[in-house]
Amino acid sequence: MSALRVIKPGPLSLLQDAGRTGWQHLGVSPSGPLDWHAAAWANRLLGNAWGTCVLEMALGGLQFEAEGELWLAVSGADLPVSLDGRPVMNWSRFRVRAGQHLQFGYAPSGQRAYLAAAGGFRAPRVLGSVATQAREGLGGLQGRGEALQVGDLLVADSGNFSRGASVPWCYRPDYQAVASLRVMTGGDAAAFAPEQLKAFFTQHWRLEPQSDRMGARLYGEPLQAPQREWSLGVVRGCIQVPPDGQPIILQADHQTMGGYPILGWLHPLDQWRLAQCRPRQSLSFTLVGVGDVQRDLREFYRFFGR
């Protein structure tokens, strides 16, 4: 058996796969990785299929001991990685032997990193998915929606590669860059006063520390939203404007129904960039057309073989 024993679990380390699709009509969130770009690269480095189970590591601070030989890959936030005290390059594939200690420090840039293993980490499927959803108590290593704990065992295949590999520099995002994110207007956008839509796109917003896997909360000059008397289904990237005028961008663990007016939707590729933004970071938004978003997503999914 090849496995990693958890010595230090970090502040929030969650198993995530392609997500729990097909259950939103019953109020069950899809979950899945907050940064699909980084998660997809970790799996690609190991030849894993799209959506294979990975470990999402928030902020860092993890330590493992290998029980058996494994091939692993790491991507995402700029966590210092070391194997028996020797540095390991991020965005790379590498081998770990039995008895070695794998350690992750804390990220100076980015918020979430992804650890993949050959064949994916094994865990029971709940409603068709391993994805961890703490609020609903679904998924994860024991199937109860729990984050990793000290002593947990992450089991995977050993893998068979002749050498390591890494992601070319041109494909690695700069998480320290100023975040300008693209938005498709829609939903209730036509009911917003023109000056309110302009205010959303012209001002700089601050990402609030209260943001989590359910929603990214913004702070700025409040918007005046139109009144709405009914609720409707919502998806990831939906930009809601509650009565206080401070927008909320729904994330992977979002609720499935919402009654706040909807200004539009964040470009999916930028949803993943948002997941790497630090609390109190300044954000701005620009318009993008649906056709451009569809083209970008086709290229992304074609590249990663979805």
pLDDT on residue 92: 98
pLDDT on residue 303: 94
| Domain shared by 193 and 137, yes or no | no
Would you write out the chain's pLDDT as a tens digit for each of its 306 residues? 799 999 999 999 999 999 999 999 999 999 999 999 999 999 999 999 999 999 999 999 999 999 999 999 999 999 999 999 999 999 999 999 999 999 999 999 999 999 999 999 999 999 999 999 999 999 999 999 999 999 999 999 999 999 999 999 999 999 987 779 999 999 999 999 999 999 999 999 999 999 999 999 999 999 999 988 788 999 999 999 999 999 999 999 999 999 999 999 999 999 999 999 999 999 999 999 999 999 999 999 999 987
| Domain shared by 138 and 17, yes or no | yes
**How many domains does the structure of the chain reveal?**
2
SS (H, E, C) the chain: CEEEEEEEECCEEEEECCCCCCCHHHCCCCCCCCCHHHHHHHHHHCCCCCCCCEEEEECEEEEEEEECCEEEEEEECCCCEEECCEEECCCEEEEECCCCEEEEEECCCCCEEEEEECCCCCCCCECCECCCECCCCEECCCCECCCCCCCCEEEECCCCCCCCEECCHHHCCCCCCCEEEEEEECCCHHHCCHHHHHHHHHCCEEECCCCCCCEEEEECCCCCCCCCCCCEECCCCEEECCCCCCCEEECCCCCCEECCCEEEEECHHHHHHHCCCCCCCEEEEEECCHHHHHHHHHHHHHHHCC
| Domain shared by 167 and 186, yes or no | no
pLDDT on residue 1: 73
Where does a domain end: 142, 171, 200?
171
pLDDT on residue 5: 98
pLDDT on residue 176: 84
Where does a domain end: 171, 202, 233?
171
> CATH number of the domain that 245 lies in?
2.40.100.10
pLDDT on residue 158: 92
* Structure token pair of residue 154: 């992450």
| Domain shared by 159 and 250, yes or no | no
| Domain shared by 224 and 254, yes or no | yes
Look up the domain containing 24 and give its range.
Answer: 2-171
pLDDT on residue 227: 87
